[in-house]
Amino acid sequence: ADHKAGVSKLGFKAIGKSLADKVVVADGYTYTIIYALGDPLNASTPAYKNDGTDTDYENRAGDHHDGMEWFGLSGDGKPSWTATERGLLGMNHEATTDSKLSSFFLHADGGKMSLPRPASEVDKELAIHGVSVVEVRKARGSKWAYVPASPFNFRLTTQTELEIAGPARGDAQLVTKYSPDALRARGTLNNCGTGRTPWGTLLTGEENWNGYFARAKGDDAARGNDKSVFALKRYGRAEGSASRHGWESAGNEDKYVRWSNNKTGTSADGSDDYRNEMNTFGYVVEIDPYDRTKKAKKRTALGRFAHESAAFGKVAAGQPLTVYMGDDARNEYIYKFVSNANWNPADANAADRLAVGAKYLDDGKLFVARFNADGTGEWLELNTSNPALAGYSAYRFANQADICINTRIAGDAAGATKMDRPEWCAVHPVTGEVYYTLTNNNNRSVNPSGTSQLAPDSANPRAYTDVKDTATLQSGNPNGHILRIRDDGNNRLSWDVYLFGAEAGAPRSINLSGLTPDQDFSSPDGIAFSQATGICWIQTDDSAYTDVSNCMLLAATPGKVGDGEKKTLSYKKADGSTLSVDTFVGAQATDKTLKRFLVGPVDCEITGLCETPDGKALFINIQHPGETTSPANIADPAKYTSQWPANAGYGPGKRPRSATIVITKKDGGRIGS
């Protein structure tokens, strides 16, 4: 799907902000809700009742639809790169709307919000996480719909067996009771961003998996305070940590107890307890969407962190493949993986797609990014022959498997730049430049304190302290920005900031991109380029500006690195001195280059984006409408903060549901152009 036509102009009128509990889309467009939480994936699963009594989520759409990719199907059901009216959506089900342990909309009475959690509730919660692959079709002359009884439909959940691939396959740190040979892993979790490989498979990033594990006080000593304790702390699981849902409390079966990541056995290797369970999460997982019988692979060569999307750089025959990735946590890093194998275009249509995945994704080099104040930067290779890693005294890396499992520590050792929460990345189809959303960071401060706060730097240059222009303005960098990288293909890069999120009415010292009311946004998260139009789609997951607008989808036609100017931001520090930060701001947004296209219902995030190859159908996800509803109001739908999609005619029940929508142009044209 090479992009040849250049970038389309934005051919629609921008829409205003919205607080309505509905999807608002630009004039000339329409949308259809096609696939929501609980929808059955086969003919034998009962219709969704949406009243908290439904079960059997292994055979239904999961919750919190997130990253999503299109995989075309020909009329006779074969993989197709060109099909436009029949295909599969490979989709993440990241998480669940919860409060005090319980995923309350899934349980009739809101569920039990204290420990121990009932097994009947936990079984549902275990099954609503993961991935779904679902067939969608546009019948001739009619609307898009999903195909409830398609034999292509399937789910992966927290319980599905996967295979460990790459350098960490068989490594001692992945030995579990479930797989003493460390070749298999159970489940995928908190799947957030996605990617689509040039050979037609789905990549899904495991993001906030660490929060699902509990650790008991005393486990550090039980482990002999060995280096696993250092690693667990670096990944946010100090002993005594509680888990998000208390799943470990639901019974004595492995499927519950495994969520306590403790050394309780006497084996040398962890084959009789759960000490290594958490090490089996945090990877990019590759799934063959066309073949539900193939076991998905955890591609450990791409590192272990809070993965978001996995975006391929421009693909060229005879050249290595590059995959760009981000680690979404405050002050974490930007990464890339470069295959050792050179791309063979015949692999695009190979029959054994996961074997192609092994060729390109199990064997290669992993890099982390450092950004300099002069607009340049370096990709630092993460391997044991990098002197910075070899000489790192805080943690001794045993081998490449250790680097692939404890990648954040390797990034620390290498001296990478700590970023404002790298969410999705995407590659411009014409320039090949890489766009990273840095969603926000409340740990960026002009007067940093403690070990977790950082002063602003050139690539993360904003930290608000004394500006209070709205009631919701938070400290740090609440509105986020979009960083842009030109990669020289080796170890060097140059960068600028394409856009700064801001309220249109904010002072120019904050609204650095000059956003107007038709295009202002906060907390960019999803980002994807259309291969059909070249349009850059930007999605928000905001909490700083939601008093003014629900989350949104914007369309943009960016230029390239260096099209703007150098700026120096000045901050007054608490001691009266001035902190000056040089940064590089891309060309100012204009009413032609950035427009708001869609706004979602109350409390949602707009996420996941894919299209048919003709650019005439655009699929996005509406994640967690109504998520700030108080569980105390579970019996009174009038008090839900959102009743979407029921209030848009997609019933039954009134409980809000994450859902996929498809956007089409009323005149049948390409979306956004």
Interface with ligand FEO (CB under 6 A): 94, 192, 207, 308, 328, 423
Query: Minimum distance between the CB of residue 308 and ligand FEO, rounded to whole angstroms?
Result: 6
**219 near Ca ion, judged by CB under 5 A:** no
Paired residues of 287 in beta bridges = 202
Among residues 480, 492, 589, the alpha carbon closest in space to that of 524 is found at: 480
Pair 200, 229: CB distance under 8 Å: no
Which among 355-363, 483-491, 525-533, 650-658 is the span making contact with Ca ion, rule CB under 5 A? 525-533
What's the burial of 85, exposed, middle or buried (CB within 10 Å: 0-12/13-18/19+)?
middle
Query: Minimum distance between the CB of residue 243 and Ca ion, rounded to whole angstroms?
Result: 19
Query: Minimum distance between the CB of residue 91 and ligand FEO, rounded to whole angstroms?
Result: 13
Q: Which residue has the tokens 């079984």?
A: 123
Pair 597, 12: CB distance under 8 Å: yes
Picked from ligand FEO, Ca ion, none, the partner binding residue 58 (CB below 5 to 8 A depending on kind) is none
**457 near Ca ion, judged by CB under 5 A:** no
Q: Which residue has the tokens 């209070």?
A: 468
Judged by CB under 5 A, the residue of 541, 542, 603, 611 near Ca ion is 541
Spatial separation of the C-alpha atoms in residues 210 and 97, rounded to whole Å: 17
Picked from Ca ion, ligand FEO, none, the partner binding residue 347 (CB below 5 to 8 A depending on kind) is none
**206 near Ca ion, judged by CB under 5 A:** no
Among residues 120, 125, 289, 280, the alpha carbon closest in space to that of 195 is found at: 289
Picked from Ca ion, ligand FEO, none, the partner binding residue 207 (CB below 5 to 8 A depending on kind) is ligand FEO
Put the strands of the sheet holding 161-165 in their side by side order: 184-186, 161-165, 297-299, 284-287, 202-206, 191-196
- The residue (of 250 and 544) whose beta carbon lies closer to Ca ion is 544
Among residues 563, 558, 560, 620, the alpha carbon closest in space to that of 594 is found at: 558
Query: Minimum distance between the CB of residue 321 and ligand FEO, rounded to whole angstroms?
Result: 24
- The residue (of 442 and 647) whose beta carbon lies closer to ligand FEO is 442
Query: Minimum distance between the CB of residue 439 and ligand FEO, rounded to whole angstroms?
Result: 7
Site string for Ca ion, 597-616 (x = CB under 5 A): --------x-----------
Paired residues of 492 in beta bridges = 378
Produce one character per residue of 203-221: b if its CB has 16 or more CB atoms within 10 Å, e if not. Answer: bbbbbbbbbbbbbbeebbe
Which among 157-165, 292-300, 540-548, 582-590 is the span making contact with Ca ion, rule CB under 5 A? 540-548
- The residue (of 285 and 354) whose beta carbon lies closer to ligand FEO is 285
**63 near Ca ion, judged by CB under 5 A:** no
Instruction: Show the tokens assigned to 638.
Output: 């009038």
- The residue (of 241 and 607) whose beta carbon lies closer to Ca ion is 607
- The residue (of 121 and 423) whose beta carbon lies closer to Ca ion is 423
- The residue (of 8 and 103) whose beta carbon lies closer to ligand FEO is 103
Picked from Ca ion, ligand FEO, none, the partner binding residue 248 (CB below 5 to 8 A depending on kind) is none
Produce one character per residue of 29-63: b if its CB has 16 or more CB atoms within 10 Å, e if not. Answer: bebbbbbbbbbbbeeebeebebebebebbbbbbbb
DSSP character string of 403-448: HHHSHHHHHHHHTPPPEE-EEEEEE-TTT--EEEEE--BTTB-SS-
Paired residues of 322 in beta bridges = 338
- The residue (of 132 and 153) whose beta carbon lies closer to ligand FEO is 132
> Looking at beta carbons, which residue is closest to Ca ion?
541
Query: Minimum distance between the CB of residue 68 and ligand FEO, rounded to whole angstroms?
Result: 13
Judged by CB under 5 A, the residue of 98, 273, 525, 603 near Ca ion is 525
DSSP character string of 322-381: EEEEEE-SEEE-EEEEEEEEEP-GGGGG-S-HHHHHHHHHSSEEEEEEEE-TTSEEEEEE
- The residue (of 356 and 606) whose beta carbon lies closer to ligand FEO is 606
Spatial separation of the C-alpha atoms in residues 368 and 361, rounded to whole Å: 17
Spatial separation of the C-alpha atoms in residues 302 and 405, rounded to whole Å: 10
Picked from Ca ion, ligand FEO, none, the partner binding residue 605 (CB below 5 to 8 A depending on kind) is Ca ion
- The residue (of 207 and 273) whose beta carbon lies closer to ligand FEO is 207
**171 near Ca ion, judged by CB under 5 A:** no
- The residue (of 526 and 645) whose beta carbon lies closer to ligand FEO is 526
- The residue (of 524 and 564) whose beta carbon lies closer to ligand FEO is 524
**627 near Ca ion, judged by CB under 5 A:** no
Query: Minimum distance between the CB of residue 439 and Ca ion, rounded to whole angstroms?
Result: 5
Query: Minimum distance between the CB of residue 64 and ligand FEO, rounded to whole angstroms?
Result: 9
Strands 161-165 and 297-299: parallel
Query: Minimum distance between the CB of residue 67 and ligand FEO, rounded to whole angstroms?
Result: 8
- The residue (of 362 and 525) whose beta carbon lies closer to Ca ion is 525
Q: Name residues contacting Ca ion, limited to 404-423 (CB under 5 A).
A: 423
Alpha-helical runs (H) found in 191-294: 219-222, 227-234, 254-257
Query: Minimum distance between the CB of residue 600 and Ca ion, rounded to whole angstroms?
Result: 12
Picked from Ca ion, ligand FEO, none, the partner binding residue 332 (CB below 5 to 8 A depending on kind) is none
- Helix 227-234 / helix 407-414 crossing angle, nearest 10 deg: 80
Paired residues of 579 in beta bridges = 571
Query: Minimum distance between the CB of residue 287 and ligand FEO, rounded to whole angstroms?
Result: 18
Spatial separation of the C-alpha atoms in residues 500 and 513, rounded to whole Å: 6
- The residue (of 307 and 665) whose beta carbon lies closer to Ca ion is 307
Query: Minimum distance between the CB of residue 208 and ligand FEO, rounded to whole angstroms?
Result: 7
Paired residues of 137 in beta bridges = 86, 145
Query: Minimum distance between the CB of residue 105 and Ca ion, rounded to whole angstroms?
Result: 15
Which among 179-187, 279-287, 400-408, 539-547 is the span making contact with Ca ion, rule CB under 5 A? 539-547
Count Cα atoms within 13 angstroms, Cβ side, for 172: 7
Query: Minimum distance between the CB of residue 400 and ligand FEO, rounded to whole angstroms?
Result: 26
- The residue (of 239 and 327) whose beta carbon lies closer to Ca ion is 327
Q: Which residues bind Ca ion (CB under 5 A)?
A: 423, 525, 541, 605
